[in-house]
Structures are given as structure tokens and as C-alpha cells.
Structure 1
Amino acid sequence: MPKDRSQPDACPGALQVHQAADGALARVRLPGGVLTPPQLQTLADAARRLGNGQLELTSRGNIQLRAVKDPNAFAEQIASAGLLPSATHERVRNILASPLSGRIGGVADIRNLVTQLDSAVQSDHALADLPGRTLFTLDDGRGDISGLHGDFGLHAHSETEHSLVLAGHRTSHRVHEDDAISLLLDAAHAFLAVRDQHWRLAEVPDGIARTIDHLGLGAEFAGAIDLSPDAGPAIGWLEQRDGTVALGGGLQFGLLDARLAEFLAAIEKPVVVTPWRSVLIFDLDEGAAEQVVRVLAPMGLIFDENSPWLDVTACTGSPGCEKSLADVRSDAITAVEQEKLPIEGRQHWAGCDRSCGRPRGDVADVIATGDGYRVNPTVR
């Protein structure tokens, strides 16, 4: 069924908040999911002082706060930490990148491309008109990000050569890294020219072909890119190529308590929020990594790759969402603790058929009906 896009895009940001049943919801864009320790401390302070005490990790590697008491004070606080570099472009700074790039695996190190793309988007006045749901993707060749079906992306083939990806489809056009950012911006401009009222390139009739034509590339495109079998959260102890250690930690429903966030910030190492609602802590020596696990595991950071919580996601549900037919998170917690999950494997619990927050890939739906739950094992 076609999506109704007759209303303006109301995707929340740090300045344009969404009024939910539990109060204002503000979302902070984190290009590449990157957070410095001081920025994470600032977010923890904001969650404790202005929100409900939790940071919610999103499927785009961003962070949002619920029940924000004073949105203006929140915006001022994150701006002081460099998390609001552009008031005009803050909602369109949606950039997903391979979280382990440059440290573990991958064909290319795309970390500099993240910084360059973010800066270029902010410097382009016209791109402030992109919908807030627009998504740029940068895949270092391992296949973890291109399969998440962004609007405009790059997929590395070598250290310096990338394929252009449009609406999750790899095209035949390859570009050198020196020209890659300009090409992505040109693709975003092409989308603005053809999008009408659509919010995503995939929604535009013949959108990929029209974008290619607008760019004058004469390129061809194949089928949609599937997620790599290895795509997903990297959990536990990870050896970096420089001999240091990275730790991957999962979170129940992607919720990062302010106190846990403060402990993460106190480690004073780079942190990346992943599209799988997990966090990565980089550049640790072995002794420090062992201490982090001992301290943070009891606080709720999941280092066990076999934890059932890594398979269970959920929307906000009641009482935070007025459309929800159940308190899905409480129900899912009970099901996990009593080992009574309705289906094995990855599953998303939702308070209504909208299934907000549902991850991509092979995921079963557990939908509240008002009289229990309907389980739909069909994947999409």
C-alpha cells in the first residue's frame, strides 16, 4: 500500500521534537554513530536532568531522549558539546557507516568519509530541504550497511574505489574516494528534483533510474543488496588490527541508562553507537578491557553473544505511545525471563501494526491486538 506523504515530514530532531504520550521526544543525529566521551557525558547529564533518565539508541545509530521537560534547554546543552553543529541541517545528518571500519576487517577505512560527508551536507544550503528520513550509507566493503537500504550510499571495492548505491541497490558506477562525496551530494540534489512529496528515494516511481539519468551517469543497477550474513551487533571481546581491544555491548531494547552512560564516558575511549542498538568501545588495552567487562556487565551492558536479549526488540509501547495496545516492553521482559518467547530467533514486539522501530532483515513480528499478541513469522 502506498504511503501517505501528503503531510509534512515530522521526523523528530533536537530542535523539532515529537510530542509523544509521555512528553517531548528529541533525537540527536550522530553521523557514523561516533561519540566522544565528553559528548556522551553531556547526553547522560541531559537524560538525568531533562529526560526520563535513559538514552534510547535507534536503528540509525542515533540517540533520542523521551519525556524531555525543556526542549530549548536540551538543545542548548547538546549544542555546547558539539552535537548540534547546524540548526538548519540537524535532521538530515543521517549517516550510517560500518562501525568497525578502520579497526577490524573491511576493505577500506571510511571514517574520514563520514566526517567529510557530514561537513559537506551542512555546507550545502539546498540539502536542508531533504526529508528528515533521508539516509546516507557508507559501507567499508563488508556488507553490513549497504543492506540497510539507505537512499544514497557508497560500497567499498578497494581502499580507494566505491560503488554508488541508490535506495539499497548497487549501481555499476564506481567512483574514486576523492570524488565520492561530491557524487553523493549530487544524488541528493537529484532526489530533491524528482521526489515530489516522497520522503525516501525508494518511494519515488522509477526513482533509481530517474536519479541515474539526472546524474548523467548511464549506469545500470542490479537487485537490492542483501545484508551480509555477518551483519549485526559485534558483541564481546574484539581484537583490533593494531593489537588493542574493542568491546561490543548490547542493551535491553537499546536503552542506555544515564548512570551506565556516565561509566562509559569515564572510560575516556572512543564510543560508537551501532544501527543494531549496541555500543562499541575502542582502543582498550587488555587490562582495561577486562575491568570494563567486570564493571559494566552487572550494570546491564550485554557482552554475551548468546543472550536472548540480542534477538528481542520492541517499540515504546504503552504508556509512552498513545497508539499502542499493550505495554509491550514489560510483556517481552516477562516472556524472556520466563523463557516463554512466542517464537525462536529474532523478533520485534510492537504495540500496533505500524511496528515502529522494527529492524531490517529476518525478523518475526509479535503484534499486540488488544487481546494478546499475533505472531507473524513472515520476514521482510
Structure 2
Amino acid sequence: MSTTPAPPPDRAAGAAGAPSAGPVRERGDACPGALRLHAADDGALARIRLPGGLLTARQARLLADLAETPGDGHLDLTSRGNVQLRGLPAGCGGPLAERLRLRGLLPSERHDRIRNVAASPLCGLDGFSPDLDGFSPDSASGVEGAPADVQAWARELDGLLCSDDAPADLTRLSGRFLFGLDDGRGDIVALRPDVTLIASGAGRALLCFGTTGPGLRVPAADAPRAAVLAAAEFLAAREASGSGAWRVRELPAGQRPAAGRLAERLTAAGIASAVLPAPRIPLGGPAVPGLVTGPDGTCSLSVTAPLGRLTAAQWRLVVRMAVKEGNQTIRVTPWRGLVVPGFPAEEAPGLLADLAGAGFVTSAESAWHRAGACAGRPGCAKSLADVRADAAACLASGQAAGAAALPVYWSGCERRCGHPGGGPWVDVLATGEGYRVTVRDEDGGRQDAGPRTVPAAGLAGAVAAARTTT
């Protein structure tokens, strides 16, 4: 595994050089959940959280049922590997929650919105193994252990988050607080989680706040418990600062949770740890569409949803494949895709072709690869355009295809709901008179990549030029 420099340090809230306690907010975040629905112009919206993106076939079948009734017939995949249902009627929350609860998709009503856990979706499927203690420049035990199963971490962490025995009232976390479980390839690191676990060899893991050092080396077996203690330390740091911060990076640098304080918490909980002042943190790319060959000879199918949206019929096709030829599980990725494991190698190419024929993105060479859009009109009252229709027309031209093209995201207003994490990425923002096309970097800065405002009819060329910016 190649190790690249970590993303730049997260910027503190407030003006540069000005003392700040971070953002002051009079209310909590408005992130929807399975219980607290969001009222949109096209009906209510429910967000079903899937820690690690993990679904059984039975759970996935239920989501298709709910998408059709009472939903609008579609499932939206989010940038954190969750699923959203739209077009829900008023008053459906109780029956919806009960059906989710029966399938294990709502294990705790109190903790629903804090179950934000992203995990490397290809873990265990492609033979990847992290460098032996690759996160520490001066450590090597000489004993290589089996790669950590971050999906198992996700299941354990979810149980801990929902427990009433947690070390702090974790329901005080924002619905935007993100736990990231990276198997060492750096794909989840690129999402810039708030608490990050990175697997290594020799049965160890790196725990850090955000995606920079210092970090703590902890036993892999204790990693989920250590992540919960890190969240408790964030809450303590936030309270001490008097801040209303929702994310770690919103706390001023001098008031962010410290590795030393966290080490003390871990010791008190019986978890051994060692501080790594300057860990080497991997930074990789997302799972790409196509066939994924495993070390046991079986294949997984990796696909993405065009603009992050699938019909219930498309979703059901995947579920049928998972049941009939696969291992009856589905993994939803933070890049608005699906990974379906367990297919015989001789059958996998034909099944991938079937998914392509059904409208899925199955190749990284497609212009639709890493392209997304918010709901736009008519579903969102704040949107200044029908961004999905304009994005589809732009992408249908086929320009800016290729695996090296930058991610692109269409937004109907300045809120940019659902935009990609990290960077760089192409920001296509509706202005009411057309679109402004810019390239954003990891820190949210931007660089103009064309005319200030581009009409929808001339958007394909401007977007293509921006996506090939180096």
C-alpha cells in the first residue's frame, strides 16, 4: 500500500487569527432520521442510517417495499452510505418506524441520528491488506496479523452507540458527527471523519480525531470501544470550550480534544494505547464500479447509482442477484454506490452487464462516475433549478468521461446539501440565471474554472473542462 500525505489540517471556525470558541448555535442540527422526518416540497423525507453501509437481503427488500409504499418509488443513496426515502405522506412516521424496527434497521429510537458510521466497503473482498504497522514510521513488530474486519467493527460500534451504558450521553452528538472505519486503504480517511479508526497489521489500529495526528495506537479488538471513548472526549472538549460545534473541525485548534486526554480515558477503561505524534495516514480513492475479484476466487459487483438515485425496480434487481447468486448481503458505499459480494467468477461478468443494462454505472470510464446532485426542483423549495434534469442532460453528452475526471456535484442553492467530502471536486451551483462552475479543494476554497455564470444549455463543456483540471 502506498501512503500519501494526510489531508491538510481541518480549519477552525471563525476568522483567521481571531480567537473563537467555535460556532454558537441556538438549536441542534436539522438532520433527518427514521423518526424525525424532513418536510420537503414533494412530501416527507426519511433517512435510514446503515452503519458501515451493511444490509441483509431481507432488510434491503423492506427498503424497496417502503420506497414504493408509502414512498415515491425511489431510493436515494447518501454521501455517508445511508438510504433516503422521499415523497412520504404526513403521519407515516409511526408505521414506518415500526417496520424498520422489525427488520433491525432502527435498534434504538434515542440514538437513531448518531449512528453515522462509514466503513471501507471493499474490506475482505479484494485481498487488500494494510502495510504492517504502516501508520507509524518507527514501529514494526515483525508479526503480521490478519487484516481487521471493519464491517465487524461497524456492527460492534453500532451496538455501543445504542447502548445506555455508554461513557457519556452520546445522544448529545450532532446528526452530522461521523465515525470513519478505514481498512488501511485510505478511502474513508478521504471523507474526513470526526473520529477515525485505521486498520493495520499485527492486530493494531490507529485512532485519531479528524484525519491528522497525533493519533493513538490501540489493539484492533478494542477499536470500536476506543472510538466511543473518543466521541465522549469530543463532547467534553466541546463543553469546556462553550462551543456549539457539531464536528471536530469546528472547534478552534487550541480547544480540540487532545490525544493525551483520550489516552487517559482509554487507560481508565482498560485499553492499552500509545501516542503517535506524527502518524502516517493513508489517503486513497473510493471504490470504483466494476468487478472486484477476491482471493478466494469469488467476485463482487461494484456499481453506482446515477446521480445517487435508484428506482425501486433497480434496487429489487440487486436484491434478487444477492439472494440467488450472491451471499445475501449488500453494502451501500459513501460514494452513492452498492457493492454486492459472493458471486461465482464465471457468472459475475454477465450479472454486471445486466446491471449496466438496467441503468447502473458499471465503469469508472463513464461520465456518470462520481457525479451527483441534490434533490433540486420540484422537491426542494430552496432550489433555483431542476438540477437533476440539467445534470442528466449534461452528463448524457459523454464529455469528461474517464477514471481521472474529478467528482462533480450539482447544487440548487448555496447550502449544497450532500456535496462530496474532501476534495478536490467540481461545484456546479445554480444561480437562478444558470450555473456557476468552480473547483473546490479539501479546505472548501475555490478556484474559478470558467465563466462566472453558464447557461444550462452550455453547461457540458464548462463542466468537462473543470473535471479535467489538474
Asked if TM exceeds 0.5, the reply is yes
Following TM superposition, by how much is the alpha carbon of 1:138 offset from its aligned partner in structure 2, in angstroms? 0.9
Change in 2 beyond 3 A, CA 1:356/1:71: same
Following TM superposition, by how much is the alpha carbon of 1:174 offset from its aligned partner in structure 2, in angstroms? 0.4
* Deviation readout 1:82-141 (Å, 9 max, x if unpaired): 111111111111111111112211322322211111111111452122211111111111
Question: How many residues in Structure 1 have an aligned counterpart in Structure 2?
Answer: 376
- Does 2:339 match 1:317? no
2:150 corresponds to: 110
Distance in 2 of aligned mates of 1:106 and 1:62: 26
2:283 corresponds to: 227
Aligned counterpart for 1:253 among listed residues 301, 307, 323: 307
Contact 2:129 2:184 in 1 (8 A): yes
1:350 corresponds to: 411
1:14 corresponds to: 34
Following TM superposition, by how much is the alpha carbon of 1:149 offset from its aligned partner in structure 2, in angstroms? 1.1
Change in 2 beyond 3 A, CA 1:71/1:172: closer
1:299 corresponds to: 358
1:82 corresponds to: 104
**Amino acid of the structure 1 residue aligned with 2:308:** G
* Deviation readout 1:191-227 (Å, 9 max, x if unpaired): 1112232111111123775342432459465599573
- 1:369-380 equivalent positions in 2, closer than 5 A: 369-380=431-442
Identical amino acids, percent of aligned pairs: 40
Contact 2:180 2:189 in 1 (8 A): yes
Match of 1:179, SS state, is helix
2:84 corresponds to: 64
Following TM superposition, by how much is the alpha carbon of 1:187 offset from its aligned partner in structure 2, in angstroms? 0.9
Distance in 2 of aligned mates of 1:345 and 1:151: 24
Following TM superposition, by how much is the alpha carbon of 1:240 offset from its aligned partner in structure 2, in angstroms? 0.8
Distance in 2 of aligned mates of 1:137 and 1:159: 20
- 1:70-149 equivalent positions in 2, closer than 5 A: 70-104=92-126, 105-107=128-130, 108=147, 109-123=149-163, 124=165, 126-149=169-192
2:253 corresponds to: 206
**Amino acid of the structure 1 residue aligned with 2:195:** F
TM-score, length-scaled by structure 1: 0.93
Structure 1 or 2, whichever has the larger Rg, is 2
Contact 2:209 2:257 in 1 (8 A): no
Q: Which moved more, 1:5-14 or 1:91-100?
A: 5-14
Match of 1:133, SS state, is coil
Match of 1:40, SS state, is helix
TM-score, length-scaled by structure 2: 0.75
Following TM superposition, by how much is the alpha carbon of 1:23 offset from its aligned partner in structure 2, in angstroms? 1.6
1:197 corresponds to: 244
Following TM superposition, by how much is the alpha carbon of 1:340 offset from its aligned partner in structure 2, in angstroms? 6.4
Contact 1:95 1:114 in 2 (8 A): yes
**Amino acid of the structure 1 residue aligned with 2:227:** L
Aligned counterpart for 1:337 among listed residues 391, 396, 406: 396
Distance in 2 of aligned mates of 1:53 and 1:40: 14
Structure 1 runs of 4+ aligned residues shifted over 6 Å read none
Change in 2 beyond 3 A, CA 1:159/1:302: farther
- In the alignment, structure 1 segments of 5+ residues that lack a partner are none
Q: Which moved more, 1:258-267 or 1:125-134?
A: 125-134
- Does 2:319 match 1:243? no
Contact 2:248 2:256 in 1 (8 A): no
Change in 2 beyond 3 A, CA 1:302/1:339: closer
Change in 2 beyond 3 A, CA 1:262/1:378: closer
**Amino acid of the structure 2 residue aligned with 1:12:** P
Distance in 2 of aligned mates of 1:68 and 1:251: 21
Distance in 2 of aligned mates of 1:363 and 1:148: 12
- Does 2:427 match 1:365? yes
